Amino acid sequence: MEETGATVGVHDVSFDVNEGEVFVIMGLSGSGKSTLIRLINRLIEPTSGEVYIDDEDISKMSKEDLREVRRTKLNMVFQNFGLFPQRTVLENTEYGLEVRGVGKEERRQKAEEALDNSGLLSVKDQYPNQLSGGMQQRVGLARALANNPEVLLMDEAFSALDPLIRRDMQDDLLDLQEKMQKTIIFITHDLNEALRIGDRIALMRDGKIMQIGTGEDILTHPANDFVREFTEDIDRSKVLTAENIMEPALTINVEADGPNVALQRMRKEEISMLLAVDRKRYLKGSLTAEEALNARKNDKMLKEVIDKNVRKVEKDTLVTDIFDMISDSAAPLAVVDEEDRVVGVVVRGSVIGAMTDIDTKDNDSQSTTETEEAADKEGVSADA
């Protein structure tokens, strides 16, 4: 500003958005989010730099080509819904197709399809002011999707809605996204919203990007003090999952190994329990030293002595839900994938660590002492 007399809206920002990704741009009011998203469809002309969709440089396109791209590839959903009050829901939804010159029959059919997808068909003949804010925003979204754009630009689309309706809208968007696999650039000033819906998040401040990464990246490896402070108040237990805090599991293959192998492994690792798996690492149970000794003494197979009631969680279980399971028992939980194969264990120490925000476990850093102690006590090594 001092040098040029101009407010710098966006400065030195560079990033890629992957096809089919929900890319969130987050930052406080005035950080440059709207300016940035408007550079993408050239509602604001960039002073310098390039914006590519596939191999086309939007920033160098003729007005005519740009209009075509806006009609067919890019659609924007605004915070204030942007609906025409004198048009019905159906007519609003048809609008983009109408502008594109799509015939009456076809555009009606496409619009109805989009409304149906969003559960709005029953209100198609109503006018926007007859609908709640949440419903209006749903119509705004359906209208954008009726055009079947490749890229959806959403500028604080949910920010004006009540928290509960907002949550519903986030769920709806995620459901729709599962079906449609659009590339979505979504702006919000709300970190919880960003974490909920973003595959990746770009955190902005003063027109610059402070950090780009997954929600977990940003929470567990903040790039600087600003990001750390920004994410400080987030309840990590509602974002982090079993997969984020698990330790490598020490296992015994009950199809191939006998009690001696099991006991030797426990001795070597200085632990008193192993997870029992089969050849394909499907979870079969747990095996304690006592059970292994029993098998050796009575000449039994490990299969016969394991405890089949081993407790387990799926890898995408939220830490907050794991806490409820682990708070009444010190035994570690097996972490399994969608097919019930063992991928790790969670011990109480790391659950509590994630809940209380002391330290969050990641695979390339040292475990906390607390985690190691907990792991030792509970018979599972903290290191592989």
Ligand X SMILES: Nc1ncnc2c1ncn2[C@@H]1O[C@H](COP(=O)(O)OP(=O)(O)O)[C@@H](O)[C@H]1O
Nearest approach, Cβ of residue 7 and ligand X (Å): 4
CA–CA dist 325, 49 (Å, integer)? 52
Are 380 and 273 spatial neighbours (Cβ–Cβ below 8 Å)? yes
Q: Pick out residues in 77-106 that bind ligand X (CB under 6 A).
A: none
- Asked whether the CA dihedral 34, 195, 183, 168 is positive or negative, the reply is negative
Q: Which residues of 323-335 are buried (b: 16+ CB within 10 A; e: fewer)?
A: eeebeeeebbbbb
User: Beta 52-53 vs 56-57: how paired, if at all?
Assistant: antiparallel
Which one of ligand X, Mg ion, none interacts with residue 31, CB within 5 to 8 A by kind?
A: ligand X
Tokens of 225: 């003090």
Nearest approach, Cβ of residue 3 and ligand X (Å): 16
Closer CB to ligand X, residue 9 or residue 213?
9
Total chain residues near ligand X (CB under 6 A): 10
Closer CB to Mg ion, residue 79 or residue 148?
79
Reported residue count of the chain is 384
The alpha-carbon radius of gyration of the chain (Å, integer) is 27
Which one of ligand X, Mg ion, none interacts with residue 32, CB within 5 to 8 A by kind?
A: ligand X
Residue nearest to Mg ion (CB): 34
Give the binding range for ligand X (CB under 6 A) out of 22-30, 56-64, 266-274, 358-366: 22-30
Closer CB to ligand X, residue 7 or residue 327?
7
Closer CB to ligand X, residue 14 or residue 29?
29
Which one of Mg ion, ligand X, none interacts with residue 248, CB within 5 to 8 A by kind?
A: none
CA–CA dist 241, 337 (Å, integer)? 12
CA–CA dist 184, 203 (Å, integer)? 16
Which segments of 194-341 are extended strands (E)? 200-205, 208-213, 251-253, 273-277, 283-288, 312-314, 333-336
Closer CB to Mg ion, residue 34 or residue 92?
34
If binding is defined by CB under 6 A, does position 350 make contact with ligand X?
no
Phi-psi domain of 288 (left: phi exceeds 0; alpha: psi -120 through 50; beta: other):
beta
If binding is defined by CB under 6 A, does position 9 make contact with ligand X?
yes
Nearest approach, Cβ of residue 38 and ligand X (Å): 8
Nearest approach, Cβ of residue 10 and Mg ion (Å): 12
Which one of Mg ion, ligand X, none interacts with residue 48, CB within 5 to 8 A by kind?
A: none
Closer CB to Mg ion, residue 36 or residue 111?
36
If binding is defined by CB under 6 A, does position 186 make contact with ligand X?
no
Nearest approach, Cβ of residue 13 and ligand X (Å): 11
339-to-251, 274, 314, 322 alpha-carbon distances in Å = 17, 20, 9, 19
Q: Pick out residues in 24-53 that bind ligand X (CB under 6 A).
A: 27, 29-35
Are 97 and 134 spatial neighbours (Cβ–Cβ below 8 Å)? no
CA angle (178, 181, 182) in 5-degree steps: 130
Are 336 and 313 spatial neighbours (Cβ–Cβ below 8 Å)? yes
Tokens of 281: 């690492």
If binding is defined by CB under 5 A, does position 188 make contact with Mg ion?
no
Are 242 and 336 spatial neighbours (Cβ–Cβ below 8 Å)? no
Among 34, 241, 288, 350, binds Mg ion (CB under 5 A): 34
Which one of ligand X, Mg ion, none interacts with residue 27, CB within 5 to 8 A by kind?
A: ligand X
Which one of Mg ion, ligand X, none interacts with residue 30, CB within 5 to 8 A by kind?
A: ligand X
Total chain residues near Mg ion (CB under 5 A): 1
Nearest approach, Cβ of residue 12 and ligand X (Å): 15
Closer CB to ligand X, residue 78 or residue 127?
78
Give the binding range for Mg ion (CB under 5 A) out of 29-37, 126-134, 220-228, 282-290: 29-37
Closer CB to ligand X, residue 27 or residue 285?
27
DSSP string, 161-224: S-HHHHHHHHHHHHHHHHHH--EEEEEES-HHHHHHH-SEEEEEETTEEEEEE-HHHHHHS-SS
Closer CB to Mg ion, residue 34 or residue 75?
34
Name the site residues for Mg ion (rule: CB under 5 A): 34
Name the site residues for ligand X (rule: CB under 6 A): 7, 9, 27, 29-35
